[in-house]
Amino acid sequence: MKKVHLLVLKAFLRPFIVTFFIVMFILLMLFLFKYIDDLIGKGFEWYVILELLVYASATNVAMALPLAILLSSIMTFGSLGENYELVAIKSAGISLQKAMMPLIIVVGMLSLAAFLFSDYWLPKANLKMGSLLYDVRNQKAAFLINEGIFNTSIPGYAIRVQKKDPDQTLHDVLIYERNTSSGNINVLMAKEGQMFTTDDDQLLVLKLKNGKRYEETPGSAGTYNPRQRFMRTEFKETEQRFDLSGFQMKRTDEELFKSNYAMMNIRQLKFYLDSFNVKGDSNLRSAYTDLAQIARVYRLDTLNKKTPAKPMKAYKDVLDLIPKDRKVQSLQTAKDQIRSVKDVLNRKQLYEMDNEVRLRGFLIELNRKFTMAVSCLVLFFIGAPLGAIIRKGGLGLPVVMSVLFFLIYHIISTIGEKSVKEGSLSPFLGMWVAIICLSPLGIFLTYKATVDSVLFDLDIYKRWFKRIFSKKDQQPA
């Protein structure tokens, strides 16, 4: 390998690694901001949050990798052009394409790795994150007793503590046992107490001292009145236990999430595509069978089995073929048959529409696994020549240009995917429209960089405008 190739590789790998992890960090922060309300105040262990962030990082690779390749390629060739190293490389007889060749190989390997990642690891990461995020969002908030506030987290109870010491000693405890039908019929008051949980965190135990219990119960006469008897009990020490199993995180079976498109690899997507295509064909055949059965139920020859007195052409209306005493019945039967046909067609249409939505979802995910890999190559062939043209390194103009082109790519791809989901575009065209639109731009920029174009040199445009306006001023009036 030539020293030039090593120089270009080193200049590319450093900003690529840095920008990749910076973009991943930004995307993770956006993920946390999005789900911060579902994570705070629920008493999760640190490893649960860490596990969720790891899975979220895997799902963010689809956005971080193309953006990192675009930004690092602009920074690499912009820095080489700014330091006149690119001029030295070209003066040595090495063209831009040859200088880019090691990076083309590296980006090609990254694209292949992205494809394998999207087919093998990304579905598993989506499955893990989807099931874990579902459990996190459905988790109850952690049980906390704050001073002077009623806590109603435990079903059937309202607990208030006037003061709580750091050692979990409680003062002036008030516990209402709530009943939706009869109200607060059981009240417990204690001067002080101690709060702790069992070793398995399944029970909350309150050891209360010096208190009273007030309870209203039905009388012995068997009447319905639930407040016929009032009881007051004083105690030196008692113990109250509350079930905390509802506050423990319960993991949902991952098998319930495997039918989602994002949880499947290419082999599974093709299998489901074939299955739903078969279901669609079966639906059409069953619609024809149902309509044929309805058509056989009612025929004109069953109403009038006698041979018509006149030829069929002589009748002006189909009702003339039906005996007068059976016309009303025939019309009612015809209405019923039409209603049955409409019901069958509506049911089959709804099934067909749902089947088409599912098919589009599978095709979107199938094409996404390829577009992710190809987008890395397309954005590289935009970023590398663009950096050679603008000849600016660092994190200034390259960042602006890379974000601009990535936004264009992301907006076009998002619009295309949305159009596919709505059914206005074919899955192939909708998922590849961004790459189709940006590929000519990559070819154009590569050509301009090869011929040393001054496409982004503002001085050239200033001089051009000055010549135009000077010619207008020199024209005779």
Report how far residue 164's alpha carbon sits from residue 472's, in angstroms, rounded to the nearest whole number: 86
100 or 295: which leads in pLDDT: 100
Read off the pTM.
Answer: 0.67
Where does the pLDDT of residue 143 fall: very low under 50, low under 70, confident under 90, or very high at 90 and above? low
Where does the pLDDT of residue 140 fall: very low under 50, low under 70, confident under 90, or very high at 90 and above? low
Dihedral sign of CA atoms 292, 297, 303, 306 in order: positive
In total, the chain counts a number of residues equal to 477
- List all residues 6 or more positions away from 408 whose beta carbon is below 8 Å from its beta carbon: 438
* Res 58 pLDDT > 80: yes
| Percent with pLDDT over 70 in the chain | 77
- What is the tens place of the pLDDT at every residue in 279-293? 777 777 777 777 776
Of residues 27, 68, 58, the one with CA closest to residue 122: 58
Report how far residue 114's alpha carbon sits from residue 109's, in angstroms, rounded to the nearest whole number: 8
Of residues 372, 402, 373, the one with CA closest to residue 386: 402
* Residue type at 79 in one-letter notation: S
Report how far residue 150's alpha carbon sits from residue 161's, in angstroms, rounded to the nearest whole number: 8
Instruction: State the Cα torsion 30-34-36-39 to the nearest 10°.
Output: -110
Of residues 65, 61, 9, the one with CA closest to residue 31: 61
* Res 54 pLDDT > 50: yes
The pLDDT assigned to 477 comes to 47
The pLDDT assigned to 14 comes to 85
* Res 81 pLDDT > 70: yes
Report how far residue 457's alpha carbon sits from residue 391's, in angstroms, rounded to the nearest whole number: 10
The pLDDT assigned to 298 comes to 52
Report how far residue 71's alpha carbon sits from residue 21's, in angstroms, rounded to the nearest whole number: 12
Report how far residue 351's alpha carbon sits from residue 390's, in angstroms, rounded to the nearest whole number: 55
The pLDDT assigned to 300 comes to 46
Mean pLDDT of 379-407: 79
DSSP lists the bridge partners of residue 158 as: 176
Report how far residue 169's alpha carbon sits from residue 206's, in angstroms, rounded to the nearest whole number: 10
Cβ atoms of 283 and 352 closer than 8 Å: yes
Cβ atoms of 150 and 159 closer than 8 Å: yes
3 state DSSP class of 310: coil
Report how far residue 403's alpha carbon sits from residue 450's, in angstroms, rounded to the nearest whole number: 24
Average pLDDT, the chain: 77
Where does the pLDDT of residue 301 fall: very low under 50, low under 70, confident under 90, or very high at 90 and above? very low
* Res 263 pLDDT > 70: yes
Mean pLDDT of 21-45: 79
* Res 307 pLDDT > 50: no
Among 88-102, 373-387, 414-428, the range scoring the smallest mean pLDDT is 88-102
* Residue type at 362 in one-letter notation: F
Mean pLDDT of 262-267: 84
The pLDDT assigned to 179 comes to 65
Report how far residue 254's alpha carbon sits from residue 256's, in angstroms, rounded to the nearest whole number: 5
Of residues 440, 447, 458, the one with CA closest to residue 392: 458
Cβ atoms of 388 and 60 closer than 8 Å: no
- What is the tens place of the pLDDT at every residue in 207-243? 888 888 887 766 665 555 555 677 788 888 888 887 7
Run of H or E including 394: none
* Res 332 pLDDT > 60: yes
Mean pLDDT of 171-184: 71
* Res 2 pLDDT > 80: no
Report how far residue 260's alpha carbon sits from residue 297's, in angstroms, rounded to the nearest whole number: 43
* Res 4 pLDDT > 50: yes
Of residues 420, 418, 396, 400, the one with CA closest to residue 408: 400
* Res 399 pLDDT > 60: yes
The pLDDT assigned to 250 comes to 64
| Percent with pLDDT over 90 in the chain | 1
